Amino acid sequence: MKEYIFGIDIGGTTIKLGLFKNDGKLLDKWEINTRKELNGKYIIQDIVSTLEEKLKNKNIIKDDIMGIGIGVPGPISEDGTVLMCVNIGWGVFNVVEEFQKLINLPIKVSNDANVAALGEMWQGGGKGYENVVMITLGTGVGGGIIVNSKVISGSHGAGGEIGHMNVSNNETKMCGCGNKGCLEQYASATGIVRTAKELLSNTTSSSRLRDVQNLSSKDIFDAAKNEDELAIKVIDDLGDKLGTALAHISCIVDPEVFVIGGGVANAGDILIKTVQKYFRKNAFHASIDTRFELAKLGNDAGIYGAAKLIL
Ligand code: ZN
The model carries a pTM of: 0.85
In the reported structure, the alpha carbon of residue 208 is separated from the centroid of ligand 1 by a whole-number distance in angstroms of 31
Express each pLDDT in 175-198 by its tens digit: 988 999 999 999 999 999 999 999
d(CA 135, CA 112): 12
Domain boundaries, the chain: 4-119+300-310, 128-295
Q: Which residues surround ligand 1, an ion (CB under 5 A)?
A: 164, 175, 177, 179, 182
In the reported structure, the alpha carbon of residue 165 is separated from the centroid of ligand 1 by a whole-number distance in angstroms of 7
In the reported structure, the alpha carbon of residue 16 is separated from the centroid of ligand 1 by a whole-number distance in angstroms of 26
| 228 strand-pairing partners | none
In the reported structure, the alpha carbon of residue 182 is separated from the centroid of ligand 1 by a whole-number distance in angstroms of 5
Single-letter code of the amino acid located at 96 = V
Domains 4-119+300-310 and 128-295 fall in the same CATH topology: yes
Angle at the Cα of 45 from the Cα atoms of 40 and 47, rounded to 5 degrees = 95
Residue 83 scores a pLDDT above 90: no
Express each pLDDT in 152-178 by its tens digit: 988 877 889 999 999 999 999 999 889
Sign of CA dihedral 261, 267, 268, 270: negative
Architecture of the structural domain at 4-119+300-310? 2-Layer Sandwich (3.30)
In the reported structure, the alpha carbon of residue 200 is separated from the centroid of ligand 1 by a whole-number distance in angstroms of 25
Mean pLDDT lowest among 15-19, 74-78, 185-189: 74-78
In the reported structure, the alpha carbon of residue 164 is separated from the centroid of ligand 1 by a whole-number distance in angstroms of 4
Q: Which fold has domain 128-295?
A: Nucleotidyltransferase; domain 5 (3.30.420)
In the reported structure, the alpha carbon of residue 140 is separated from the centroid of ligand 1 by a whole-number distance in angstroms of 9
Half-sphere exposure of 186 (CA within 13 A, CB side): 29
DSSP string, 207-239: -GGGG-SS--HHHHHHHHHTT-HHHHHHHHHHH
Angle at the Cα of 138 from the Cα atoms of 9 and 34, rounded to 5 degrees = 35
